[in-house]
Structure 1
């Protein structure tokens, strides 16, 4: 009888510890928190998940011990074995679910990191192109609204020549603008296709509008 009492207390104690540890873990593993992450934040989530995987593995022994105690109580004919079996089954089912969700989240985070790396590279390329284009645009606006005071025919000819040179650059500028906007569209479409929220560009404050 003492043996049974000791085993029951041991079983309950180990279950209490495990259930306290596992509380909230399933909801955490099902979380879609990664969808709002920047690349750095997503990498931090991945590192956190690796730490959780190690933590999960460390609890494997306790789950096996709980199952072994329940089995021993069955063999010894414990009179309240039904409650023991129900608690053990619930705990083992949850443990299996934790294992499945842990693998799924690892795969999800790995895939999300690849996608966000793609978006991040588009952001960087946009920043490299947007800054010089924005400077060119500001300069062009200034030149076009500038007031000129003309005194000679040569000055008129010089202005006409400068304006013709400016017009000759418009084709290249338009092509560059389209390239920049394609980068924006690609980033937005990649986010949309993968149900991710597009984070702000960390490399520039220059807006595409």
Structure 2
């Protein structure tokens, strides 16, 4: 190759290829040698076992012989043979010790079993489906690992049989016996089955608990939403939008809603029962809802209190309104009194009649001589008779009285409502006592002189009862 001949590269390639194959063969040979050595040791071990077993059988016949010699020479020969037997026993002791040492694996196997037993007998108590699922997965992984433990157990059983075949009484390297290990293995299988039953039982318990959580959450979430919607309904004036807007209609809507609130107490009771069942089952958390029984009960109680307060406030407003209506009746009846001063029933009052009517209603107008100026009365005339035609129509008179005393009275129905407010329990009649309690004496006298006695549905006259409905309508007809 140093001469740089034309085939140098080819030679080099072939050399490298041969060296590579040689190194591969060398490596393969080393591997095969190792395997052959391992196989040799294994078969040597088995052959030694067979030899030991054959030797033991042979020597067993010798030591079991009942031939103790017939004479001195015979006994001496037997003693020499026995000494050789003892020497052979000493020579075979290492082989037996080797088998005993191999059985020391029993200690490691028992240690593994104790750890497994501790894990398998640990109480099964979970708080969620996720936890029990994790335990069951760990149990399945443990069962999958039993194949290697089974292999170790089988090997120990084979070693035990070999040791026993040599008639060895005990093993100084371990205090475990194969019988004890067999009992341990049977106990392990029993514990595994018991563990599986416990896990299945806990799985069912957690599934029931989860259903209970979901049922509680479903009712609690729906109840909380209803609480929010009802509170909003009461506070944002939705009842006024739905109704005509009068205080009475608002009160009726509020009462209906409050009845609904009271009716929903049964739904809260259902939630409380579910919550008690969860506490009994030691369910301390619920991932499906953020609401608790105590919190929902407090919110319901607050909503119930809100409904009662709103009812009370509306009732107070209606009572105040009715008081105002009573004073309004006096103003309305002042118009009726004007009919009393309209002697000619012309629907008009002259200035003198108008002044007399005002004085009868309590207006403090000064007494002046005829022809003298009366600034206060002139100011009133500027309102009711601005063109000074000498007469005040009933319409002008009514407008003046309304502007002075109360809001506009536009129909007989409004006046009927005013009288109805005077009567107890909104009866269709008013009593003499009720008129004198709520009106001035002059106004009450006028009403009693023009109202007819009230007749019931059978045409019977009720004592001290007067028909304000017919009275009001007759005035408007006139």
**TM-score bracket for the superposition, by shorter chain length:** 0.7 to 0.9
Corresponding residue to 1:31 among 112, 122, 127 = 122
The question of whether the paired residues in 2 share the 8 Å contact of 1:36 and 1:198 is answered with no
Matches within 5 A, 1:50-199: 50-81=140-171, 86-140=176-230, 154-170=245-261, 172-189=263-280, 191=281, 197-199=282-284
Unaligned runs of 5+ in 2: 1-91, 295-478
TM value normalised by structure 1: 0.79
Aligned-partner SS, 2:141: helix
Rg larger for? 2
Q: Give the aligned partner of residue 7 of structure 1.
A: 99
Q: How many pairs does the alignment contain?
A: 197
Structure with more contact order per residue of length (Cα contacts < 8 Å, sep ≥ 6): 1
What displacement does 1:91 show?
Answer: 2.8
The two structures have a TM-score, normalised by structure 2, of 0.37
Q: Compared with structure 1, are the counterparts of its residues 199 and 95 closer, same or farther at alpha carbon in structure 2 (3 Å cutoff)?
A: farther
Aligned equivalent of 2:367: none
Secondary structure of 2:125's match?
helix
Q: 1:19 aligns with which of 85, 94, 110?
A: 110
- Preserved CA contact (<8 Å) 1:119 1:187: yes
- What is the match of residue 10 of structure 2? none
Q: Which moved more, 1:106-115 or 1:127-136?
A: 127-136
CA RMSD of superposed structures (Å): 2.8
**Which is further off, 169-178 or 128-137?**
169-178
Contact preservation (8 Å) 2:109, 2:152: yes
Specify whether residues 83 and 9 from structure 1 end up closer, same or farther in structure 2 by C-alpha distance, changes over 3 A only: closer
Alignment-derived partner of residue 194 in structure 1: none
Where do 5+ consecutive residues of structure 1 fail to align? 192-196
More helix by share: 1
Point out 4+ residue stretches in structure 1 off by more than 6 angstroms: none
Q: Does residue 206 of structure 1 match 2:298?
A: no
Question: How has the CA–CA distance of structure 1 residues 174 and 79 changed in structure 2, closer, same or farther, with 3 Å as cutoff?
Answer: same
